[in-house]
Structures are given as structure tokens and as C-alpha cells.
Amino acid sequence: MIVERPRDLLIKKILAHGFMILFLILILFPFLMVFSISIREGNFSVGSIIPKNPTLEHWWLAFGLDYVRADGTIVEPPYPVLLWMWNSIKIGLISGFGVLAIATISAYAFSRIRIKGKSAMLDGLFLIQMFPTTLALVAIYAIFDALGEVTPIMGLNSHVSLVVIYLAGVTLHIWTIKGYFDSIDTALDKAAAIDGATPWQTFRHIFLPLAVPIMSVVFVLAFIGFINDYPIASVLIRSEDKMTLAVGSRLYLNEFKYLWGDFAAAAILSGLPITVVFLIAQKYLVSGLSDGAVKG
């Protein structure tokens, strides 16, 4: 039996807590710097961490409201930040649910249905996913530029085109959900078949309820990736009213003037949708990442 002295345990406890506090400080320091810039007078990236004369001007403008300064000057919002955020949320939710639906159905097919050449198809999907989408930006631009001549809704400067491209990133999520389905005991399939259930009924009433945790993980990861995407959205979206927040925020840092304060406020707002989605799905995330489909 190993017996440790109380003094040694106290020292280890202090060191562990000190390490955690230091780790949290390192993580939160960049956020605190950005928040400090967002409440600092003017649009400067340098200055004290604690602003001498804090102001909500940048936040006021980010919410699309006119701001009246102490000298009576009225400052109008330079860009429609809330519209950009709505575009980001809309595209992220549609793409996220689309990826989730395709990935879940495909993963069930690959996991439970006998398909000729299934291993080759899975390997092909995995290899395709290894190449980043940025390698195909030129091809994506050319394809949707040509499609725009046939139907504008599938051309450049269209949210539909952006969603279609995002749906193509489903392959890695198919692998993720398939691994989860593979951990489900095949006895459940056989029991459902004996009771007369079709493959769709087995998928709908047995697999989907069990897969809620991993589906939550996939949706959150997909949503975060879509709402933060810059390369693809910056190539396809042109007009200011259709920009996402990630693309539109770049306008604050133009070649004539860097609006660091306004940019900082918009940057913090961009994390709000991700935080809300994470809080809603957090009770499923831990089990989806750590547990199997069948426990006990």
C-alpha cells in the first residue's frame, strides 16, 4: 500500500492548480486583448490592456446603431455586421444539417449494408478528404462561374453555391459516424429483422436514437468549420450584402485605414453563434467523443 505524506499531497495539489491557472491565462489572454481593443477609444491595436477611457462605440456600431460621441459627432456603422452574422448562421445551419443527414445515411449504408466495392469506396473517400479544398479554389471558381451563365442561383455570389461546396466536405464525417455505427452490436439488427423491421425502420428507430451523441459532435464540428470559413466564401461571394462575417470582417482592414476597434468587436461577435450551438449540444459532446454506441 502506497502512503503519501500530507505535505507532498498539498504540494502536488498546489502545482496542479497553478498549472491549470497558468494554462487558462495563456488561453484567455488573446481574447482579453481583443476585448480590450474593442472597448478602447479610436481604432488602434496598441495601447494599455486596461483602457483609460473605455467606450462602447465599436460595439454600438457592430450592432448597426448610430453612436453619438461626447462632442456631438454622429458616427454611422461602416458595415452591416448583423447581416453578415445572419448570413453566416444561415449558411452554417443549412450546411451543417445537410452534411449531418448525408453523413448519417451514408455511414449506416457503409456500416450495415453489403455493397460491392465498399472498401474501395471508403478508401477513395478518405483519400479525397486528404486534399484541402483550397487546392481546388481555381476549379471551384471556374465551375460556378460557368454554372452562373445557366442559372444564377448556382453561380458566383450565391449562398446556394456556397452550401453545395460545403456539402462536399462530408467524407470525413462519414468515416466518423461509420466508426460509431460499427460499435453497435449486430444483435440489434437481427432482432429488428426478426420483428419484421425494414432496413430503414432499423435505421430510424434503433440507430438514430443511439447515434445522437456522435451526430451532435459531427454537427458542431461542421458548423464551426463552415461559419469560420474564409477562403471559399471569399472567392465565391462578391456583394457586401451577401458576405459572411468571416469575409466581411476583412473590409475593416482595408488598404486606406485599419479599423482595429470595429474589427475586434465584430470578431468577438463571430464567436457568439458557435458558443450558443456548443452550449445547446454540450451534454452530448462528451459522450459522443468518449463513449461507444452501446454501454453497460
**DSSP summary character for residue 134:** G
pTM: 0.84
Cβ neighbours of 217 (radius 10 Å) = 21
The strand pairing partners of 84, in sequence order, are: none
Give tens-digit pLDDT for 230-282. Answer: 989 999 998 989 999 999 988 888 777 888 999 999 989 888 898 888 888 87
Kind of pairing, strands 74-75 and 67-68? antiparallel
What is the pLDDT confidence band of residue 13, given thresholds at 50, 70 and 90? Answer: confident
Convert 144-160 into a string of H (helix), E (strand) and C (coil): HHHHHHHCHHHCCCCHH
pLDDT of residue 4: 60
Q: What is the mean pLDDT of residues 207-212?
A: 86
Q: In sequence order, what DSSP letters do the residues of 63-120 get, joined into one string?
A: TT--EE-TTS-EE--SS-HHHHHHHHHHHHHHHHHHHHHHHHHHHHHHHHS--TTHHH
C-alpha cell at 76: 454611422
Q: What is the mean pLDDT of residues 108-126?
A: 82
Alpha carbon distance 279, 224 (integer Å): 13
